[in-house]
A = this chain, B = another copy of it.
Amino acid sequence: MARSVSGPEIERLIQLLAKLPGLGPRSARRAALHLIDRKEELLVPLAKAMEVAVERIVVCSTCGNIDTSDPCMICTDPRRDAGTIIVVEEVADLWALERAGAISARYHVLGGVLSPLDGVGPADLRIDDLVQRVSAGGVTEVILAVNATVDGQTTAHYITDRLQGLGTKVSRLAHGVPVGGELDYLDEGTLAAAIVSRTPF
């Protein structure tokens, strides 16, 4: 703001809100006013929820998921198939797969992908931990659910190499037409993959 029209506390709140993905300087101001307008219904509970998050949320030392317990709820859930590990890049991908609800397995969050350009090497990701989990035995299948990007696929190849000889099946997500997708709007690579992987009707 050109001139200060309120105490530094409000401007600090706006500046911090503007660092959230999806909020810019203008929407952060709107969000701050919205919060202050709804003090009891929103600002107080949100401040409290953040305080709880600061105090209680930890990263699972087994799989890299975030939770309020270590090991996390997924790693300690006896109803899940402990023999299948789904490897994902980020916690957000784990959440997305859980929303799909297609499989009841364990996870392994890499914390990113190999990216020589950005200086991200194997030591920066949870790859050694994955090899260790698989080496410990009991894992029959590792599903590589990394993004279908160049870096994602490079990472998938690297992990496949590292897991070779451990006697575990390694698979990856199918490529194809998204459910509800219109062929006219799909890229040629996806269409070609869908043709190659066609299934009997």
A residues whose Cβ falls under 8 Å from a Cβ of B: 1-7, 9-10, 12-13, 16-17, 19-23, 27, 29-31, 33-36, 39, 42-47, 49-54, 56-57, 65-69, 72-74, 90-92, 94-95, 98-101
Q: Quick check: B54 and A42 within 8 Å, CB to CB?
A: no
Q: Quick check: A36 and B66 within 8 Å, CB to CB?
A: yes
Given the interface pairs A42-B16, A51-B47, A98-B1, the reply to whether A73 lies near B7 with Cβ below 8 Å is yes
Using CB atoms, name the residue of chain B closest to A94: B5
Given the interface pairs A20-B35, A30-B21, A73-B5, the reply to whether A53 lies near B10 with Cβ below 8 Å is yes
Nearest CB of B to A43, in Å: 6
Please measure, in the bound complex, the distance between the C-alpha atom of A53 and the C-alpha atom of B91, giving whole angstroms: 31
What residues of chain B lie closer than 8 Å to A22, measured between beta carbons? 22-23, 27, 30-31
Please measure, in the bound complex, the distance between the C-alpha atom of A81 and the C-alpha atom of B197, giving whole angstroms: 74
Please measure, in the bound complex, the distance between the C-alpha atom of A99 and the C-alpha atom of B47, giving whole angstroms: 28
Residue of B21, B34, B45, B99 near A21 (CB, 8 A) is B34
In the complex, 22 of the A-B residue pairs with CB atoms within 8 angstroms, ordered by the A residue number, are A2-B100, A3-B98, A5-B94, A5-B98, A6-B66, A6-B67, A9-B49, A10-B67, A10-B68, A12-B49, A13-B52, A13-B53, A16-B45, A17-B46, A19-B42, A20-B35, A22-B30, A30-B92, A33-B90, A33-B91, A43-B50, A47-B50
Nearest CB of B to A172, in Å: 22
Most central of A6, A30, A94 by chain B CB within 10 Å? A6
Using CB atoms, name the residue of chain B closest to A40: B54
What residues of chain B lie closer than 8 Å to A3, measured between beta carbons? 98, 101
Residue of B10, B20, B51, B66 near A10 (CB, 8 A) is B66
Given the interface pairs A10-B67, A98-B1, the reply to whether A57 lies near B73 with Cβ below 8 Å is no
